[in-house]
Amino acid sequence: MSAPVVMHVDIDAFYASVEMARHPELRTVPMFVGGSSRGVVLSANYPARAWGITSGMPSTRARRLCPQVAVIHPDFDRYGAVSDAIEEIFCAITNQVEMVSIDEAFIDVTSALRRLGGDPVAIAEGLRAQVMDEQGVACSVGIGPSKFIAKLASKAAKPDGLRLVRPDDVIEFLHPLPVEAIWGVGEVTAEKLHRLGLKSVRDVANTPRTTLQRALGDGLGALLFDLSWGRDERSVIAREPAEHSIGSQETFSRDTDDVEVVTTEILRMAERTASRMRAQKMVGRVVTLSVRFADFTTITRTGTLKAPTDLTGDVHAEAMRLFRRLNLQRARIRRVGVRVEKLVPKEETYLQPALDEPEVGWAQAEAAMDRVVLRFGPTAVRRARLTRKAS
The predicted-structure confidence for 33-77, as pLDDT tens digits, reads as follows 998 777 899 999 999 999 999 999 999 999 999 999 999 999 888
Q: Which of 214, 203, 244, 209 is nearest to 225 (CA)?
A: 209
Q: Which residues of the chain are modeled with pLDDT < 50?
A: 242, 355, 390-391
- Cα distance between residue 334 and residue 94, in whole Å: 29
Whether residue 104 lies in the annotated active site: yes
pLDDT score for 151: 96
Beta-ladder partners of 298: 292
CATH of domain 246-387: 3.30.1490.100
Please report the pLDDT score of residue 242 as a whole number. Answer: 46
The one catalytic residue in 98, 104, 318, 366 is 104
108 neighbors 144 (Cβ within 8 angstroms): no
Q: Supply the pTM of this predicted model.
A: 0.69
Fold held by 175-228: DNA polymerase; domain 1 (1.10.150)
Give the Å distances, CA to CA, from 149 to 199, 220, 227, 247: 19, 18, 9, 31
Work out the angle at residue 322's Cα, subtended by the Cα atoms of residues 318 and 324, and round it to the nearest 5 degrees. Answer: 115
- The domains of the chain are located at 15-76, 175-228, 246-387
Q: How far is CA 52 from the centre of its chain?
A: 27
Cβ atoms of 9 and 138 within 8 Å: the answer is no
Cβ atoms < 10 Å from Cβ of 212? 23
Other beta carbons within 10 angstroms of residue 385's beta carbon come to 12
Element housing 164 (H / E) = strand 162-164
Query: Are the C-beta atoms of 36 and 73 separated by less than 8 Å?
Result: yes
Class in CATH terms, 15-76:
alpha beta
How many residues are present in the chain?
391
> End-to-end alpha-carbon separation of the chain, Å?
49
Closest CA to 207 of 188, 189, 229: 229
Give the model's pLDDT for residue 302: 93
Q: Which residues are annotated as a binding site for Mg(2+)?
A: 10, 103
Name all contacts of 383-390 with Cβ < 8 Å and 24+ positions apart: 383/267, 383/271, 385/264, 385/267, 386/264, 386/267, 386/268, 386/271, 388/264, 390/250, 390/252, 390/253, 390/261, 390/264, 390/265, 390/268
